[in-house]
Chain A
Amino acid sequence: LAKTTQPISMDSYEGQEVNITCSHNNIATNDYITWYQQFPSQGPRFIIQGYKTKVTNEVASLFIPADRKSSTLSLPRVSLSDTAVYYCLGISGGYNKLIFGAGTRLAVHP
């Protein structure tokens, strides 16, 4: 299971782009880099997943360099509702257990 390191917290303002970087130096060849978002008193919500290069969906973009030792979640034009905790994980199969790190607590201000 890949050990991940993220900033504990970040602050931003409405309308700005937010980039959250995750370090995963020992990521396994089979691991997919996956990001979840969690609001208070709710279960985590899947945001995006990628293996390498760039992945984009309607919510975010995920940038993964060639060495795959880190990844960056990019949230375009954040709003107050993006205030949440964001978790980065390496997943090598849906059947495998997930070990969550501390995550990044993002606060978006007016």
Chain B
Amino acid sequence: GAVVSQHPSRVICKSGTSVKIECRSLDFQATTMFWYRQFPKKSLMLMATSNEGSKATYEQGVEKDKFLINHASLTLSTLTVTSAHPEDSSFYICSAFPETSGQETQYFGPGTRLLVL
């Protein structure tokens, strides 16, 4: 299957700082990527849809000024958590759709564990 990577795999930061998480499609191009957040023992919650060359679309209740998304190329989307606070500590996961795969599905990255102290 298609491969999606994320970097870093885990990050610890101080409250008030910003953290950038990268999502890359390694062997395919993706005009659309998705960002999810997952709290312990809970399901994935969609945060936003990242569109190459245009603004991201955020789900209701997700602050676009806090979670900045940039999709500058067909293989890279970044999520920046600005002025992070302890309640932003979570597992962040991205996904992408291989447009030429012939399958109607998305492939997920391994996730990034964020801990805000």
Within 8 A of A (CB), among B89-113: 91, 93-95, 97-99, 101, 103-111, 113
- Flag if A98 contacts B103 (CB, 8 Å): no
- Flag if B34 contacts A98 (CB, 8 Å): yes
The answer, among A34, A43, A102, for a CB contact under 8 Å with B108, is: A43
A36 surroundings in chain B (CB, below 8 A): 108
Given contacts A32-B104, A100-B44, contact A94 B1 (CB under 8 A): no
Q: Does B60 contact A (CB under 8 A)?
A: no
- Flag if B110 contacts A94 (CB, 8 Å): no
Q: Does A80 contact B (CB under 8 A)?
A: no
- Flag if A49 contacts B44 (CB, 8 Å): no
Chain B contact residue count (CB 8 A cutoff)? 29
- Flag if A43 contacts B43 (CB, 8 Å): no
Given contacts A87-B43, A100-B44, contact A93 B108 (CB under 8 A): no
| Interface bracket on A | 20 to 34
- Flag if A99 contacts B111 (CB, 8 Å): no
| Per-position binary interface string of chain A over residues 89-106, scored 1 when its CB falls under 8 Å from any chain B CB and 0 otherwise | 001111101111111000
Q: Does A13 contact B (CB under 8 A)?
A: no
| Per-position binary interface string of chain A over residues 26-40, scored 1 when its CB falls under 8 Å from any chain B CB and 0 otherwise | 000000101010000
Give chain A's interface residues, CB within 8 Å of chain B.
32, 34, 36, 41-46, 49, 87, 91-95, 97-103
